[in-house]
Structure 1
């Protein structure tokens, strides 16, 4: 919608500019046909009262009525007892001014709003067009192939079909072809201390191997269904079934072995969109491990968390005492401030390098984890935000355009609260910005 609005504005300006240009040229031509005369020069008297210039730093007056009214409204919604211990930060994205805070520097449990930080670090490191190539190489024995994990955890059935067809082309005389998988790219420590094994069947996480089908989901059609306890083995089995394999399992690919087949992932921007809208923990953890490798850190949950914070700090975003034991927010030991989340979102709204981050956020009452929220709220269709939910924790961080045309970024985290009541109160708090 914004692009359409701007197109009409630009078109109108161009029409007026063109008309003005024609008028000016005509006037000049008429003037050239007659003698020029000059009267006495005009004089302007000095003003009797000093005029206070507008601030040059782009900051609005602290007494701006709209801002004062908005702050009072936010204070009212923030007092809702359903929000438990609420911390928050709101920034006017146009000016960069933080206009409302509540313990914004406090490090609290952020839940899945951590994915905002992970997505930002990935964009800053890889760029939105980055892809991952997964290859299958010739194994050490005749009639064997090794699928080498490269970080793509979302291989689909069509990609496996493509790999199998190419393998057959390069090994025409081998039947069957046994398929093994090499997972040595990432740490063997593939399950973070802050996660629970029960969460595998619950669909929240899986042991992190550098190659999976459909992010480890047992049923690709059910994005919230159970995950596999051995996702890499599942890939070797699925590919092996296409090649009549009798053996599958783990191995290490031979050095400089011939490449038999390869497939390429979707661009990073698309992978981020899925991760953010569906709040997919596996996708976030995979990105974190790839970020860790770029920094020479262990490709495990702790190394991934450290990499995200280091990248943000190096790009001028103050991370203070933030702690990330993973990059999905699933760990209850993660600690992040709303000031940090808000700063990243403001950087995305005001700059270009992080701008694709905003496109990945769910839309209130429309997409992803916000599709069933904000009914009958002012923020419906206007709020774009990442959700966060853990036991006793509800969070929301994103952006909204107010009804007077201002763009705000925000981050709200409620700890020590019941999930559903706190979620409803957060929707009201974010909607208060729409009415600003």
Structure 2
């Protein structure tokens, strides 16, 4: 088993344990020639659970005896000057009690930890199996096809091949078929005020259009490489090349046009895993716009941010002080509290509706944006968390199981600090929870 897969399995076991413990007993008997035979049935006494959510010396409704010592260590490490202006919240997921906090209700720049809020809103609205269907319809002009953007920004070459195969031979004139793209599902206002155009070439964002290949990446094998400035036109060009097209570009599909071919996106949970582990801003912004449309709001950055907060509020979460100018955290104007982030993670750890959210978080020293962090730390393999980085801002929010089997959720945000020193100090804070 690959190293990254092994650490994923460890974390997955921890999440299952937090839900109440699972015991599995399997027995196979192999003969010398490799055949399998079944021995007489065994009677096995159920063993002691390997993990219990509430230790026998704790109180499910009160403070765990080791809490005072843990809080003292958190206070000591939180005083690290590398953390600049630190706000934070830690909850014992077993009891739901906030055991440590520092200004948890103070709105600060959250950077990419905003994606936790976006993922939660998407799960609450669509569910983990939700998919997006991208269709190609017959155009108003002879021998033209129109790819109708529906929100899938991660089409790949195989899906374009499938669409092309479905289109061939369906139009009266046969091939070649000219291909256009309809982006009217989302607002023409496709670039948030808090973003910078140079971030397109830097790989952080692209103009948000409702259909793209590989989230607008110029090179799909490089998740952090430059993005396209015209991602939807790129799709029409790529599909058109498969059909011998002479023309491509923007248009509007005729109403009730005949569908020539269609493909489905990956399920939502898969898309969330990619978004969270690589901290992909385009994936987050696409989800935000679909959430906005589900609520009758404009499919732009402002509508998406409003939709996320409205959904969380309606599910009992306190969004006081939060302001989202986008749903990726790329905007430096976003504001959120660590109390809100921690509450979302606690809801995921204690309930079932948001439980899939925990599966999407990177694993310390193993996967995604945490692959190169926590190496040599006690938090290695035990911390699962979403990172956040902007100029003067470093953030970390997730879960960890302590050495004494407590499950904690946490959110730490450092503003007005240098990125790398603050990042190291945040890793120490999270590892403190593992040490118990």
Query: Do both share a fold (TM > 0.5)?
Result: yes
* 1:302-361 residue CA offsets vs partner (Å, 9 max, x unmatched): 000000000000001110120000000000000000000000000000000000000000
Distance (whole Å) between structure 1 residues aligned to residue 397 and residue 293 of structure 2:
28
Of stretches 171-180 and 285-294 in structure 1, the one that deviates more from structure 2 is: 171-180
Structure-2 change in CA distance of 1:366 and 1:149 (3 Å): same
- Within the alignment, does 1:250 sit opposite 2:250 as a pair? yes
CA distance in 2 between counterparts of 1:17 and 1:119 reads 38
Task: Tell me by how many angstroms 1:176 deviates.
Answer: 1.1
Q: How does 1:227-238 map to 2 (within 5 A)?
A: 227-238=227-238
User: Which residue does the alignment assign to 1:324?
Assistant: 324
Q: CA deviation at 1:370?
A: 0.1
Q: Where in structure 2 are the equivalents of 1:19-418 lying within 5 Å?
A: 58-61=60-63, 64-171=64-171, 173-418=173-418
Aligned mates of 1:79, 1:171 — CA distance in 2: 69
Give the unaligned 5+ runs of structure 2: 1-9, 27-42, 48-56
How far does the alpha carbon of each residue in 1:344-384 deviate from its partner, in whole angstroms, 9 at most, with x for none? 00000000000000000000000000000001111000000
Q: 1:8 aligns with which of 23, 36, 41?
A: 23
Whole-angstrom CA distance in 1 between matches of 2:293 and 2:172: 36
Q: Secondary structure at the match of 1:8?
A: coil
Give the Cα separation in 2 of the matches to 1:290 and 1:17: 47
CA distance in 1, matches of 2:234, 2:401: 45
Give RMSD over aligned pairs: 1.7
User: C-alpha separation between the residues in 2 aligned to 1:123 and 1:198?
Assistant: 32
Cα distance change of structure 1 residues 370 and 310 upon mapping to structure 2, 3 Å threshold: same
Query: 2:53 corresponds to which residue?
Result: none
Deviation (angstroms), 1:433: 0.1
Does the 8 A contact of 2:58 with 2:65 survive in 1?
no
Q: Retained in 1: the 8 A contact 2:106–2:321?
A: no
Give the SS at the match of 1:276: helix
Structure 1, unaligned runs of 5 or more = 19-53
Encode CA deviations 1:4-63: one digit per residue, 9 max, x unaligned: 97443789xx93369xxxxxxxxxxxxxxxxxxxxxxxxxxxxxxxxxxx999x4223xx
Structure 1, residues 93-114: CA drift from partner, whole Å, max 9, x if none?
0000000000000000000000
Give the alignment's TM-score, normalised by structure 1.
0.88
Distance in 2 (CA, whole Å) between partners of 1:103 and 1:8 is 40
Deviates more, 1:64-73 or 1:391-400: 64-73
Q: Return closer, same or farther for 1:374/1:60 CA change in 2, 3 Å cut-off.
A: same
Give the CA deviation at 1:171.
2.6
How many residues of Structure 1 are paired with residues of Structure 2 in the alignment?
396
